[in-house]
A and B are shown apart, each in its own frame.
Chain A
Amino acid sequence: AQKVTQAQTEISVVEKEDVTLDCVYETRDTTYYLFWYKQPPSGELVFLIRRNSFDEQNEISGRYSWNFQKSTSSFNFTITASQVVDSAVYFCALSERGDSGYALNFGKGTSLLVTP
């Protein structure tokens, strides 16, 4: 079963619009970690944020913000005033104890296109 679901396969917005990328996860562990990574067209994976299951505080970093809600098992990512350089595939990932000792379970990614 998919542990991380990113229901939005592709999103297209016009520059300066706000956009939210959804992430829903599934785990039985009480201790787990959630991540967002960015994969620009060049292909590398860039770490954006790590959140542990005991910290439900929202995080803001510049134009990026993250909303973690344990009650709905969601960890959504919002880009405010999007820019063309934000165009990329964004992956949400879950790390739990499991059989592979905290290896990452990735969602299938959301492809974001920001047009001028």
Chain B
Amino acid sequence: DADVTQTPRNRITKTGKRIMLECSQTKGHDRMYWYRQDPGLGLQLIYYSFDVKDINKGEISDGYSVSRQAQAKFSLSLESAIPNQTALYFCATSAGPRETQYFGPGTRLLVL
């Protein structure tokens, strides 16, 4: 079984809808991250969490919110989806601040 899982893997939604992307990990890592990837660009950090009680905004947090329900679960919500949030979303985890980040398989989101 994969160490970092994301659900759903693909999602189509309409402008204005609220959606949630979920991430779960079995690696026992404290740190979790959400990134988005747009075509031809690298990944940009949306939010990150050092533990259940510590959540921080990344460089592109506007229009997004997160919830760290447990050490193993970190959810990303789009409160009111808009077309320019169409992207590939990745969750990642790491054991510590200097450790390697391991990525989930990604969620492809299309906002119509």
Among B11-19, B39-47, B64-72, B76-84, the one that faces the other chain is: B39-47
CB-CB under 8 A for A47 and B98, given A106-B43, A107-B42: no
- Chain B contacts for A35, CB-based, 8 A: 100-101
CB-CB under 8 A for A103 and B106, given A4-B42, A108-B41: no
Report the interface size class on chain A.
20 to 34
User: Quick check: B103 and A102 within 8 Å, CB to CB?
Assistant: no
Determine whether A45 belongs to the interface, using a CB cutoff of 8 Å to chain B: yes
Determine whether B50 belongs to the interface, using a CB cutoff of 8 Å to chain A: yes
- In the assembly, what is the distance between CA of A100 and CA of B40, in Å? 23
- Chain A contacts for B101, CB-based, 8 A: 35, 47, 104
User: Quick check: A91 and B43 within 8 Å, CB to CB?
Assistant: yes
Interface size (B, Cβ < 8 Å)?
Answer: 25
- Chain B contacts for A47, CB-based, 8 A: 100-103
User: Closest CB-CB distance, A111 to chain B, in whole Å?
Assistant: 9
Task: List A59-116 residues whose CB lies under 8 Å from chain B.
Answer: 91, 93, 95, 97, 100-104, 106-109
CB-CB under 8 A for A102 and B97, given A43-B106, A44-B103, A45-B90: yes
User: Quick check: B97 and A108 within 8 Å, CB to CB?
Assistant: no
- In the assembly, what is the distance between CA of A107 and CA of B106, in Å? 18
User: Closest CB-CB distance, B22 to chain A, in whole Å?
Assistant: 17
- In the assembly, what is the distance between CA of A71 and CA of B54, in Å? 37
Determine whether B58 belongs to the interface, using a CB cutoff of 8 Å to chain A: yes
CB-CB under 8 A for A43 and B88, given A95-B98, A101-B50: yes
- In the assembly, what is the distance between CA of A95 and CA of B77, in Å? 26
Task: List A15-65 residues whose CB lies under 8 Å from chain B.
Answer: 31, 33, 35, 37, 43-45, 47, 50, 52
24 A-B residue pairs with Cβ-Cβ distance under 8 Å, sorted by A, are A4-B42, A35-B101, A37-B103, A43-B88, A44-B106, A45-B43, A45-B103, A47-B100, A47-B101, A47-B102, A47-B103, A93-B42, A97-B97, A100-B48, A101-B48, A101-B97, A102-B98, A103-B45, A103-B48, A104-B35, A106-B42, A108-B40, A108-B41, A109-B42
A residues neighboring B (CB under 8 Å): 4, 9, 31, 33, 35, 37, 43-45, 47, 50, 52, 91, 93, 95, 97, 100-104, 106-109
